[in-house]
């Protein structure tokens, strides 16, 4: 196996070009799409966002299926813990539950708006490709969309690790030292928006009916919650194809050499192909980000302050790294 991914290294070496193609261009498309869509559609989107948020929140967290899922995860955490010293109802679990409200709000206010605008734009300006996949059998379209979205998720993840300004936002997700199923929602709003922009090219393909898209996202959320739980589960040789909790835990390792691996969402096949797959027989991997504000062990009354610092610090760090990039001397 190659020790390093050439694609990963290329992205790290060209953060400016990557940012223009994957952030600035999609952002320009959003602006054009917003003008084309018109203000009344945008206003009605925001009016619907609150209802959609409430419905989704109720479906994901206040449902019999979530209670059963939560109970199964707690049993697995008891039977096969990655960190046996971690409490089942840890401080991190409650903290990340708080982040779930923030990230779902951002999702329904802005991520879904971006998705709507991209779809409008691509349907208006890229008709041949839309027509091509639109006539395929449903099952084939679902498979193609699944593979395309998964690859886009993988690529976006690599970009958010290797472009320094974006890493500061994504670091919040990695900063959890007590991983739990809610860590999936421990996302900075800017990380979520960067993810949407960098994945926007797949919206050309995403033409599945909205009910299916909802089930798709819901299943993905459950799987990702399972991946972040405090469980040590490996699929053996299949880890190279499908991401297991052990594989994703390595991605959250505090050691930077380990966390620049295993970027897969569902499929680790992309990591296997591009040379970023890593496995380990070591069960207890310490997770987190050195120097990031940590809620664990702090007094309860300081929690709101730590929560705000976790949101504010990446903004300051990202601004600093953009400024440093513009003032850096060219390499000779
Ligand atoms: Zn990551
Ligand atoms: Zn993760």
Question: What does the pLDDT look like over 281-292, one tens digit per residue?
Answer: 776 788 999 989
Ligand nearest to the CA of 228: 2
Question: What does the pLDDT look like over 181-205, one tens digit per residue?
Answer: 999 999 999 999 999 999 887 776 6
pLDDT band at 2 (very low <50, low <70, confident <90, very high): very low
Ligand nearest to the CA of 191: 1
Cα of 193 to ligand 1 centre, how many Å?
Answer: 15
pLDDT of residue 51: 81
Ligand nearest to the CA of 186: 2
Cα of 30 to ligand 1 centre, how many Å?
Answer: 25
Question: What does the pLDDT look like over 295-328, one tens digit per residue?
Answer: 887 788 888 999 999 999 999 999 998 888 888 7
Average pLDDT, integer, range 251-274: 91
Q: What percent of the chain has pLDDT over 70?
A: 91
Cα of 322 to ligand 1 centre, how many Å?
Answer: 20
pLDDT band at 79 (very low <50, low <70, confident <90, very high): very high
- On the question of pLDDT at 116 being above 50, the answer is yes
Average pLDDT, integer, range 227-252: 95
pLDDT of residue 188: 96
Cα of 327 to ligand 2 centre, how many Å?
Answer: 32
Cα of 188 to ligand 2 centre, how many Å?
Answer: 12
- On the question of pLDDT at 164 being above 70, the answer is yes
pLDDT of residue 207: 53
pLDDT band at 134 (very low <50, low <70, confident <90, very high): low
Ligand nearest to the CA of 256: 1
- On the question of pLDDT at 175 being above 50, the answer is yes
Cα of 251 to ligand 2 centre, how many Å?
Answer: 7
- On the question of pLDDT at 109 being above 90, the answer is no
pLDDT of residue 210: 47
Q: What percent of the chain has pLDDT over 90?
A: 50
- On the question of pLDDT at 106 being above 50, the answer is yes
Question: What does the pLDDT look like over 199-216, one tens digit per residue?
Answer: 887 776 665 554 566 667
Cα of 297 to ligand 1 centre, how many Å?
Answer: 24
Cα of 325 to ligand 1 centre, how many Å?
Answer: 22
Question: What does the pLDDT look like over 7-26, one tens digit per residue?
Answer: 999 999 999 999 999 999 99
Cα of 170 to ligand 1 centre, how many Å?
Answer: 7
State the SS3 of the chain.
Answer: CCCCCHHHHHHHHCHHHHHHHHHHHHHHHHHHHHHHHCHHHHHHHHHHHHHHHHHHHHHHHCCHHHHHHHHHHHHHHHHCECCCCCCCCCHHHHHHHHHHHHHHHHHHHHHHHHHHHHHHHHHHHCHHHHHHHHCCCHHHHHHHHHHHHHHHHHHHHHHHHHCHHHHHHHHHHHCCCCCCHHHHHCCCHHHHHHHHHHCHHHHHCCCCCHHHHHHHHHHHHHHHHHHHCCECCCCHHHHHCECCHHHHHHHCECCHHHHCCCCCCCECHHHHHHCCCCCCCCCCCCECCCCCCCCCCCCHHHHHHHHHHHHHHHHHHHHHHHHHHHHCCCCC
Cα of 278 to ligand 2 centre, how many Å?
Answer: 15
Cα of 228 to ligand 2 centre, how many Å?
Answer: 6
Cα of 157 to ligand 1 centre, how many Å?
Answer: 6
pTM for this one? 0.89
Cα of 252 to ligand 1 centre, how many Å?
Answer: 7
Ligand nearest to the CA of 171: 1
Average pLDDT, the chain: 86
Cα of 192 to ligand 2 centre, how many Å?
Answer: 13
């Amino acid at each position: 196996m190659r020790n390093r991914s050439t694609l990963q290294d290329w992205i790290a070496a060209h953060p400016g070009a990557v940012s223009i193609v994957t952030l600035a261009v999609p952002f320009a498309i959003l602006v054009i799409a917003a003008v084309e869509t018109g203000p009344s559609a945008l206003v009605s989107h925001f009016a619907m966002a609150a209802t959609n948020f409430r419905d989704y929140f109720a479906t994901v967290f206040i449902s019999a299926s979530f209670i059963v899922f939560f109970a199964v995860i707690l049993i697995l955490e008891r039977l096969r813990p990655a960190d046996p010293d971690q409490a089942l109802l840890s401080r991190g679990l409650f903290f990340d539950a708080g982040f779930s409200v923030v990230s779902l709000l951002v999702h329904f206010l802005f991520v879904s708006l971006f998705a709507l605008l991209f779809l409008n734009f691509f349907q208006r300006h890229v008709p041949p490709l839309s027509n091509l996949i639109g006539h395929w059998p449903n099952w084939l379209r679902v498979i193609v969309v699944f593979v395309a979205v998964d690859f886009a998720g993988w690529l976006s993840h690599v970009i958010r690790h290797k472009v320094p300004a974006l890493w500061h936002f994504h670091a919040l997700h990695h900063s959890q030292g007590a991983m739990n199923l809610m860590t999936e929602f421990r996302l900075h709003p800017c990380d979520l928006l960067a993810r949407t922009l960098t994945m926007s090219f797949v919206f050309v393909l995403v033409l599945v009916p909205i009910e299916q898209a909802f089930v798709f996202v819901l299943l993905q959320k459950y799987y990702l919650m399972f991946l972040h739980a405090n469980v040590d589960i490996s699929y053996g040789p299949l880890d190279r194809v499908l991401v297991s909790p052990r594989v994703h835990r390595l991605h959250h390792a505090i050691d930077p050499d380990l966390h620049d691996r295993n970027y897969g969402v569902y499929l680790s096949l992309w990591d296997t192909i591009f040379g970023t797959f890593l496995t380990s027989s070591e069960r207890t991997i310490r997770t987190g980000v050195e120097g990031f504000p940590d809620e664990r062990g702090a007094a309860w009354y300081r929690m709101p302050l730590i929560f705000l610092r976790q949101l504010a610090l990446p903004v300051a760090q990202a601004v600093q790294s953009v400024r440093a990039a513009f003032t850096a001397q060219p390499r000779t």
